Structure 1
Amino acid sequence: MFDPTAFENMKVVMEGGFYDRDLDGEIRIVDRNDIINSAKMSRRYDITFTDNAEGLAEIFCTFTMEAGLDNLAAELLPKVQSEKLAGCRISVNFTIKHQKDPQVFQEIREVLRQIWGSGRKIEQTVKYNVENMKAPAETETVISFKRLVHEEQIDDLNEMITYMAASIKALRKIQI
């Protein structure tokens, strides 16, 4: 029998939280990936969901959790590494299709800053087809946390699902 890693414990708790909300009809899960990279000895878990708003613009949220060899070694070999490295990197990504309007880009950023706080790193990337200017743009906004998340913070991590669902609801109010 083996002792699960912090990554595995956090993944199971988050996955349960997402699927509970999916079963309750609060969100709709559309994709999930659980990747083990044996070349780099790293793990990555992501799950993508949306709300149940029918006929409205596409807004997706992807929760990503990553741990590398340094994180695993810190946990399994505490004498060799600092236990401060025993955790995961977390990011939350919102993907929105909308009209090509610079005001919309700013509104998306401001809505997410109000919900997630100014202490988070928020980066936006906008993609659009230059050959078809009538086609919608796609904004990808990534919220990064400037520190590792540790297993002791597992309850806070699960609470993030509420923030993600609230973010989608708030983004729906933008005229996109």
Structure 2
Amino acid sequence: MFDPTAFDNMKVVVEGAIYDRDLDGELLVTNREDLVDLANLSRTFKLAFSLTQSNRSNLHAELKIQAGLKNLAAEILEMGDSSTSAGCVVTVAFHLTHANDEKIFFNIQKVLEEIWGGERKIEQVVKINPIKKTVTIVNEATVQFNRLVVEDQIGDLTDMIDYIVLTLKELEGVVR
């Protein structure tokens, strides 16, 4: 039997918390990825979901947990200062389809900064087809935490789901 890594423990707790909300009817899980990259010996777990009470098919969230070789080795081999390397990178992404309107971009930014705080790295990346003259774009707004999340903070990950739900509700008003 092996001792699960921080990545394994965080993944199981987050997955369980989100699926509990799916079973309760609050959230709808729309995609799940649990990847092992053998080329660079990293692991990635992604869970995408939306609000069940939403009538917006153009808005969903994705919670991603990643651990690279350095993170896994620091924990398993207890190398060097494992307290600074043993952990995971957590990213929250919100996928939205909306009009290509500068006001909407600023409103999205404002919502994300109000809920997640100014010390987080918040970024919006837009996909547009320049050949088609559509008025809508696909926006991926991400929130990054600028540090590793360690196993001692596993409770913060479940609390984070409340912030994601709140953000989805606020973004619904922005992308009407």
* TM-score normalised according to structure 1 size: 0.95
Describe the shift of the 1:61–1:134 C-alpha distance in structure 2 as closer, same or farther (beyond 3 A).
Answer: same
Residues in 1 aligned to 2:112 and 2:98: alpha-carbon distance in whole angstroms: 16
Other structure's SS at 1:50 match? strand
Residues in 1 aligned to 2:146 and 2:159: alpha-carbon distance in whole angstroms: 18
CA positional deviation for 1:57: 5.1
Residues in 1 aligned to 2:91 and 2:161: alpha-carbon distance in whole angstroms: 12
Structure 1 runs of 4+ aligned residues shifted over 6 Å read none
CA positional deviation for 1:132: 2.6
Q: Quote the residue 1:148 is aligned against.
A: 148
Q: Quote the residue 2:81 is aligned against.
A: 82
Residues in 2 aligned to 1:10 and 1:2: alpha-carbon distance in whole angstroms: 16
Residues in 1 aligned to 2:114 and 2:16: alpha-carbon distance in whole angstroms: 27
AA in 2 matched with 1:39: A
CA positional deviation for 1:54: 4.8
CA positional deviation for 1:135: 4.2
Other structure's SS at 1:173 match? helix
Unaligned runs of 5+ in 2: none
Q: Quote the residue 1:134 is aligned against.
A: 134
Residues in 2 aligned to 1:91 and 1:74: alpha-carbon distance in whole angstroms: 21
Matched residues, number:
175
Is residue 110 from structure 1 mapped to residue 82 from structure 2 by the alignment? no
Aligned pairs for 1:36-55 within 5 A = 36-55=36-55
Other structure's SS at 1:81 match? coil
Q: Quote the residue 2:58 is aligned against.
A: 58
Describe the shift of the 1:87–1:54 C-alpha distance in structure 2 as closer, same or farther (beyond 3 A).
Answer: closer
Unaligned runs of 5+ in 1: none
AA in 1 matched with 2:168: I
Residues in 2 aligned to 1:175 and 1:70: alpha-carbon distance in whole angstroms: 39
Residues in 2 aligned to 1:134 and 1:76: alpha-carbon distance in whole angstroms: 50
Q: Deviations over 1:84-115 (max 9, x none)?
A: 21100000000100111110011011101100
RMSD: 1.2
Residues in 2 aligned to 1:50 and 1:33: alpha-carbon distance in whole angstroms: 16
Residues in 2 aligned to 1:93 and 1:43: alpha-carbon distance in whole angstroms: 18
